[in-house]
A and B are shown apart, each in its own frame.
Chain A
Amino acid sequence: MTTEALILAAPPARRKVLRREGTTGPVLVVVLVILALWYVAAIFMNWQGVTDAFSRAGEQHTTGEILLGTLDQERPVLPAPHQIVAELKKTVFGIAITSRRNLLFHAWVTLSSTLLGFGLGALLGIVLAVLIVHVKTLERSLMPWIISSQTIPILAIAPIIIVVLGSIGITGLFPKAIISAYLCFFPITISMVKGLNSPDLIQRDLMRTYSASGAQIFWKLRLPASLSYLFAGLKVAVAISLVGAIVGELPTGAQAGLGARLLAGSYYGQTIQIWAALFGAAILASILVAIVSSVERIVNRRMGVRPA
């Protein structure tokens, strides 16, 4: 009687929560609310600037005109979303793709060093993880340093790498890629080590009873077991690889890339340009994470992972 009574007594709301819930609707509503708040904030934050501009010109204006003016300034305190979209459209499609004023040009500069750094970092991270799992000395001596280095702000080292490599004649893509690689190998190593160690003792014992060699245990048990951990690490890594590339563009003084656009925008007070670069970076980051996720799905399907 007791269990049935409990189920009957449970409030209906609780049971609704337990059902699988869609998120598309709520996300859409929250995004719309944020957009609405954004417009309100844009009106309030730009109000002073518009009224000042009008009074400087010595003109009298109605509230409605000021209201429209706040959403159409050249250098607003907070640009309205449609201004950012217009700027993105203008700098992506409106200008020849080889021009330095095209946002895609800058995005490509950042993307290329992100990808090179991500590739280097992933390779280094995976090799290091395999070594750490198999060589006990490395596990005892190197692993504590890799874990504790997560607690220090290693991004602060970026200017040194750029300037030192620049002073011995290495400039352009490679120093930024080094920063990205350096940032992203930590999460990959840590999650890969966790994944390679994830098979249970009983599974490893089973391999032993099959008299499997160390290489066979690695290829048939440890590596497949580690893949989901690896992809979790890769998703974090690709995101911070992009951050590393953007920050790596700052010390060289705004030459090319999304970081350079941010810096140039802040030098010249071009707020719309800053926001457009920021949105460009956000779109790039989400595309990169989405690519890693879809590769994960393809790999999982190939390996016959049943959806949980």
Chain B
Amino acid sequence: MSANRHALILTPLAILGCLYALYLVHRPDVAGQAGLAFWAFIVVLWLLTGFAISGLSHLKLKQPVARRAIGLAVPVLFGAFLFFLWEVIVIGAGVPSVLMPAPSAIAAKFSASLPLLRDDFFQTFVKSVLSGYAMGCLSGFLVAIIADRVPFLRRGLLPLGNFVSALPVIGIAPIMVMWFGFDWPSKAAVVVVMTFFPMLVNTVTGLAAVGKLERDLMHSYAAGYWRSLLKLRLPVALPFIFNALKINSTLALIGAIVAEFFGTPIVGMGFRISIEVARMSLDMVWAEIALAAIAGSAFYGLVALIERGATFWHPSYRT
């Protein structure tokens, strides 16, 4: 028990050391020309942080609250240290910003170009992703219900849906741009096609997941098709449907961004990435990627949160 207690002392020490290194590296006499002593200090910090994180992750705690706090702290510290290394190496070694901008430079660019980012976000996320996501998921769901009603259709569509899921569907982007023009409808169309099949396959699988016993029980209640669909089979299929919703939240964002590489009006996240990469202003590109990461994980988190509320009865959420 006491063997890993040293982590509780090492962790604040490592954090303080990293903060001091951050202060050092931004001093004009160190930035870009860091000496051997500085790099030795960084290596020592690296070892220190390694020991601290290893100690923290081996801590055996009794209180559940403390355990959860440690479980959260370990990955957060690890990620923060990676960002610290990125910052220190880029600034200390003077890596030119056309190759790799420092996180601080990216954050500065991010906060300096908020109006631009907001416009791009609105164009790509609100217009293309959300509308395409809603249409794709809804149509996939409806077709799945129809396919479930007609077994012949289900047997034909399910292997095809699985097959299409493995195809590079993103390639239809240039065709959609030709059909629906440069603005957001073409991106929404790509998103619709990309999200349709995962939803179809998952919903059909979910609807088939009901056990024979439960179905027989509904039958003995004299429940008709629609009643047993609403009261039994859709609730059972919910985890599968939410799984598709979560997969699609990521796919939709990828689809919209990549589709913008094929032609857009002069706004949008994918447009900004491709144009700023060509101009070698990588801090702006990284700012867009940060925005995409935030939007993507927030979207995913929201769907996961709704899932928790809607499928609270599922074994994986019961404690």
Residues of A within 8 A of B (CB): 6, 9-10, 14, 17-18, 21-23, 25-31, 77, 136-137, 139-145, 148, 150-153, 155-157, 159-160, 163-164, 167-168, 235, 239, 242-243, 246-247, 250-251, 258-259, 262-263, 265-266, 269, 271, 274-275, 277-278, 281-282, 285-286, 289
Q: What are 29 A-B pairs at a CB distance below 8 A?
A: A18-B212, A23-B159, A26-B153, A27-B156, A28-B156, A30-B160, A77-B179, A136-B58, A140-B71, A141-B53, A141-B78, A148-B297, A151-B296, A153-B257, A153-B296, A156-B254, A156-B257, A156-B288, A160-B282, A167-B98, A239-B165, A239-B168, A247-B261, A262-B173, A271-B178, A274-B174, A275-B175, A278-B175, A286-B167
Name the residue of chain B whose CB is nearest to the CB of A45. B179
Interface SS of chain A: helix
Does A167 lie within 8 Å of B280, measured CB to CB? Answer: yes
Whether A285 contacts B250 by the Cβ 8 Å rule is no
Question: Contact at B77–A239, with CB atoms within 8 Å?
Answer: no
B285 and A160 within 8 A (CB): yes
- Bound form: Cα–Cα A159–B53 in Å: 34
> Across the interface, do A23 and B155 meet the contact criterion of CB distance under 8 Å?
yes
Q: Do the beta carbons of A246 and B155 come within 8 Å of each other? A: no
Bound-state Cα–Cα, A140 to B54, Å: 9
Closest to A266 in B: B174
- Closest partner residue, chain A, to B99 (CB atom): A164
- Interface stretch of the complex, out of B21-29, B39-47, B230-238, B267-275: B267-275
Inter-chain CA distance A269–B155, complex, in Å, is 37
Neighbouring B residues of A282 by C-beta, 8 Å: 167-168
Starting from the known contacts A153-B254, A266-B177, 16 additional A-B residue pairs (CB-CB under 8 Å) come to: A23-B155, A30-B157, A144-B75, A151-B250, A152-B293, A152-B297, A156-B257, A156-B273, A159-B273, A159-B285, A160-B289, A167-B98, A243-B168, A246-B171, A278-B175, A281-B168
Q: Which of A148, A242, A269 contacts B168 (CB 8 A)?
A: A242
B168 and A30 contact, CB distance less than 8 A: no
Q: Determine whether the beta carbon of A157 is less than 8 Å from that of B152.
A: no
What 1/0 flags go to B163-196 for Cβ under 8 Å of A?
A: 1011110111111011100000000000000000
- Is B158 part of the contact surface with A, judged by Cβ < 8 Å? yes
